[in-house]
Amino acid sequence: KKTNPTIVFIFGGSGDLNHRKLTPALYNLYVDGFLNDQFKVYGLGRTDYTDKKYRDHLLEGIQLFSRRKDDGKGPWKEFSEKVHYLKMDAGAGTAEEYSILDKAIQETEKEWKVEADVLYYLSVGPNLFPIIAKGISTIKSSHKEDKTRIVIEKPFGHDLQTAMDLNKLLAGLFQEDQIYRIDHYLGKETVQNILALRFANTLFEPIWNNKYIDHVQITAAETVGVEDRGGYYDTSGALRDMIQNHILQVLCMVAMEAPVSFDANEIRNKKTDVLKAIKRYTNEEVKENVVRGQYGAGWMKGSKVNAYREEKGVDPNSATETYAAVKFQIDNWRWQGVPFYVRSGKYLAEKTTLITIHFKQAPNYAFPAEAVDAWRPNRLTLTIQPENDVRLLFQAKRPGQTMSLNPVEMVFNYADAYNEPQPEAYETLLLDAMMGNSTQFMRNDQVEIAWKVVMPILDSWNSKVPVSFPNYSPGSWGPEEADALIAKDGRSWTNSP
């Protein structure tokens, strides 16, 4: 598996995502031998950089954030010769500005004596997506549909209407199979493993339905606050930032029907079917099934932290939620009556992303009452981070002369099982985009239906005067109302694997 001769242009080349994720991902792909010798990456931005200064800046990112470090004398030295910087004002959007890129492509193709694949990566604010997309469409060398791809970072739209507008604009400029809408959760190893676990084993699928599963939980908890992203976050919130995209995508992997092939559209059709089946809530049902929270001031790991409303870039009266919990219902044959409880928040007690499948109680009537003291239903836990593992909780007989049952766990840990480093999500996704595989990217309809799922919640919140925020303390597991949301169904959140 190796890329074709490829040129990557990164809009937002001097930005944070490139520094932390994109360049480290390309560097690791290079070290792992996935990049063609004919490979070039151009960072694009308004900052003044020489190639040398730009490379030094990126090397710092490798040292801080890459899974492989490099002191500048290792493989980085060779790789960095493939890295260039072009100063341009992409937001100006003039054909003249974009002709710099045309020139770079032509010169490179002349040097390589082949037609190059070209990947444009939009690692910029969403207000620039339309301008840059139009700019790219003016580049003559990029009129080869099978050689040109465009990767769009999140957020894809602010709501259904803006997502539809953006889809429409892109559809006027490119073919759908040239457009790669990124959701980095889909590149995570353990998220990809959901498909293997479910569909490469006989064991799980027969019981993966409402006959045997009581409910499902998906938690994406973070121990960071909004950091220096207050300005963006205050226009977004937990529902838009995490649930509309990452969590719904993970939910689709858990709930989808078996695909008949690994064709990109086949997998995405099956996921889209799940989104279509999620019940759209009325205003009244939003109150019953959704909880939002905002953190106040407090302490995280011994340090004092600001309330959300005191964060830089945040409105002091902000109604934006930094926590959201939703009970979703999937109205199809398989999942009728099985709630999917999902939640995500900033400044929570632990950094963890986990999926728990809670099975129904076994008909364990034969056991004497005293045997089942510590009885717990079977549970399958998929931990996505920080550890990557799969755990199965079941009952065993405690050693001794009496029949006494005890919950025990069978654990499969990625790091222990495979003595191989795991690629980062951005490595997997960048390689897929360069290879033209869009399976793990969002299709136009997928992104719109995901918006349709959350719009009733956003609309219902909008029509209300802000609730009594802040309502949870940093370092907690979120607002009490979220515990009540699940407790009223006689269940409780699983916080740790």
Nearest to 247 by CA among 214, 222, 210: 222
**Beta-sheet strand order (sheet of 290-293):** 290-293, 323-328, 340-345, 213-221, 352-359, 379-385, 389-397, 405-413
Q: Which of 19, 84, 246, 358 is catalytic?
A: 246
**Minimum separation from the CB atom of position 127 to ligand BG6 (A):** 16
Q: Tell me: is residue 113 an annotated ligand-binding position.
A: no
**Minimum separation from the CB atom of position 240 to ligand BG6 (A):** 9
Q: Tell me: is residue 271 an annotated ligand-binding position.
A: no
Q: Does 241 bind ligand BG6 (CB under 6 A)?
A: yes
**Minimum separation from the CB atom of position 388 to ligand BG6 (A):** 13
Rounded CA gap, 407 and 376, in Å? 6
Site for ligand BG6 in 352-391 (CB under 6 A): 353
Q: Does 427 bind ligand BG6 (CB under 6 A)?
A: no
Q: Tell me: is residue 351 an annotated ligand-binding position.
A: yes
Q: Tell me: is residue 53 an annotated ligand-binding position.
A: no
Nearest to 219 by CA among 484, 482, 490: 482
Q: Tell me: is residue 184 an annotated ligand-binding position.
A: yes
Q: Tell me: is residue 52 an annotated ligand-binding position.
A: no
The footprint of ligand BG6 on this chain (CB under 6 A) covers a number of residues equal to: 4
Q: Contact, 389 vs 412, CB < 8 A?
A: yes
Name the phi and psi angles at 371, rounded to 5.
-75, -25
Going residue by residue from 327 to 356, which x/- string records binding to ligand BG6, judged by CB under 6 A? --------------------------x---
Q: Looking at beta carbons only, is 166 or 226 nearer to ligand BG6?
A: 226
Rounded CA gap, 254 and 264, in Å? 17
Q: Looking at beta carbons only, is 162 or 329 nearer to ligand BG6?
A: 162
Contacts of 66 (CB under 8 A, 6+ apart): 24, 27, 28
**Minimum separation from the CB atom of position 222 to ligand BG6 (A):** 5
Q: Does 153 bind ligand BG6 (CB under 6 A)?
A: no
Q: Between helices 248-255 and 264-277, what is the axis angle to 10°? A: 100
What's the angle, vertex CA 217, arms to CA 211 and CA 221, rounded to 5? 170
Q: Tell me: is residue 154 an annotated ligand-binding position.
A: yes
Which residue do the tokens 């694997």 mark?
Answer: 497
**Minimum separation from the CB atom of position 111 to ligand BG6 (A):** 37
Going residue by residue from 175 to 194, which x/- string records binding to ligand BG6, judged by CB under 6 A? --------------------
Q: Looking at beta carbons only, is 43 or 187 nearer to ligand BG6?
A: 187
Q: In the annotation, is 358 catalytic?
A: no
Interface pick for ligand BG6 out of 222, 321, 427, 432 (rule CB under 6 A): 222
**Minimum separation from the CB atom of position 223 to ligand BG6 (A):** 10
Q: Looking at beta carbons only, is 117 or 222 nearer to ligand BG6?
A: 222
**Residue ranges binding ligand BG6 (CB under 6 A):** 154, 222, 241, 353
Which residues are known binding-site members for substrate?
184, 188, 222, 241, 346, 351
Looking at the annotation, which residues are catalytic? 246
Which residues are known binding-site members for NADP(+)?
46, 154
